[in-house]
Structure 1
Amino acid sequence: MSEVLLSCTGIQAGYGASQVLFGIDLAIREKEVVTLLGRNGMGKSTTLKTIIGALAPQAGHIRFDGKLLNGMRPDAIARLGIAIVPEGRQCFPNLTVEEHLLAFAANRNGQADSWTLDRIYAVFPRLKERARNLGNQLSGGEQQMLAIGRALSTNPRLLILDEATEGLAPVIREDIWRCLATLRDAGQTILVVDKYVHRLVGLADRHVILARGQVVWQGTSAQLDADRGLWHTHLGV
């Protein structure tokens, strides 16, 4: 069994006097694809914010490859090899597609088979076609492809996607699912938040369901697929 890459133990966090997370436990092994599921407002994005250092946990510990992340700045955490595709994409309006992909290029996983510009273009041919276009000249689907490509250009050890296909047309969602399957098959470790459970069970190894800031269920895709009561109770499907 592969080594644990990310572990969250007893994470409590919130905003001011409003506590959102109440003891989150989460572990992701290398080369695993894990989803974080739950209805809106249950703590998924807050959990991601604590992992990437955008929100300091009030209690508990977060470790990445054994290194304690508590108190580290987001840029330092990113340099360790954690990249996020944020909700809303957050592409820069005044940078071209190619500038996005070159400006953040790094090799944080230390592997020879890196995500080069050409390799990213091979996964997303549309980005190559739009290489000279600015970020604000792209469709929502193209911006999502660019946000994923930008994260991959850092060659992360852990790729996090927050609302991976939110607001995208069905045909574009299918492109994103195919991309994530390609990344999984290449051995990329992924943590993904999304609401399309029927697609996630065919993509991910394990799933973690949150409700009111707590983990209420963890299990494999086979276990989640077999228990549709969980879908109705906790996911609104």
Structure 2
Amino acid sequence: MLTLENVETSYGTSQVLFGINLTLNEGHLVTLMGRNGMGKTTTVRTIMGLTPAKAGTIRFKGETITAKRPYQIGRAGIALVPEGRQIFPTLSVRENLIATAANRAERKGPWDLDKVYARFPRLKDRANQLGNSLSGGEQQMLAIGRALMTNPTLLILDEATEGLAPMIRQEIWSVLAELKAEGQTTLVIDKNLDDMARLADDNYVIVKGQIAWHGDVAAMRAEDNFAEKYLGV
């Protein structure tokens, strides 16, 4: 569904990505891991057209999207839950959810307010509250709900559970498990290795702007000192 081939990205004269290759198949949940500052968020920004690639090719559902604008990529069916949530602070929960809503579902049961509220009951309880009055966990639920309201073919979560309390983290992972069971294709960046391993079909590790390791969960568990080697400080 999504392929990155030899993608390079720079911020001005500072190159950050050096030939990224990544493949995400339909219905799979794929993780992108690495220490801070290695290029994970830049990879996501490049996919979304927020920081355009300087070289290489990005294809989505067979179409080249390398030079497309962010709104075109969103309309093509890619939704982002960004790092830091970035909800609209002065809009209500309901307004946040409907602000970018679109029915471009490719399968039965498109996402709408009722379906998001059923998945995240707290959002229904707080439908008329402003976004900036929510807790961090509630804001993350809102950011995920807002992305789902676009009915994406591909859902990307950058730091899916960063800074959240353990109970909220588990709630988010439960939702991601349900989405995977429903066939949602997902790319996840996170630091909770055990939680990701329970869901992932494929895993990539980025080190200094390059893919340094790629494999399934069995290969990851067989790798000596995987966490210390690729994720430790």
TM-score, normalization by structure 1: 0.96
For residues 16-165 of structure 1, the aligned pairs below 5 Å read 16-165=12-161
The one-letter amino acid paired with 2:150 is: T
Equivalent residue, structure 2, for 1:179? 175
Contact 1:8 1:61 survives alignment (8 Å): yes
The one-letter amino acid paired with 2:67 is: G
1:180-221 per-residue CA deviation (whole Å, 9 max, x = no partner) reads 111111110000000011110001111000111110111111
Separation in structure 2 between the aligned mates of residue 191 and residue 111 of structure 1, nearest angstrom: 19
1:34-54 per-residue CA deviation (whole Å, 9 max, x = no partner) reads 000001111100100100000
1:159-196 per-residue CA deviation (whole Å, 9 max, x = no partner) reads 00000011111111111111111111111000000001
* Aligned residues: CA RMSD: 1.1
SS at 2:186's partner residue? Answer: strand
Contact 1:8 1:63 survives alignment (8 Å): yes
Shift of 1:108: 2.3
Contact 1:32 1:188 survives alignment (8 Å): yes
Equivalent residue, structure 2, for 1:6? 2
1:117-146 per-residue CA deviation (whole Å, 9 max, x = no partner) reads 111111111111111111011000000000
The one-letter amino acid paired with 2:23 is: A
Equivalent residue, structure 2, for 1:167? 163
Tell me which stretches of 4 or more aligned residues in structure 1 moved more than 3 Å. none
The one-letter amino acid paired with 1:19 is: Q
The one-letter amino acid paired with 1:77 is: I
Shift of 1:103: 2.0
> How many residues are matched?
233
The percentage of aligned residue pairs carrying the same residue is: 55
Q: Which runs of 5+ in 2 are unaligned?
A: none
Q: Which runs of 5+ in 1 are unaligned?
A: none
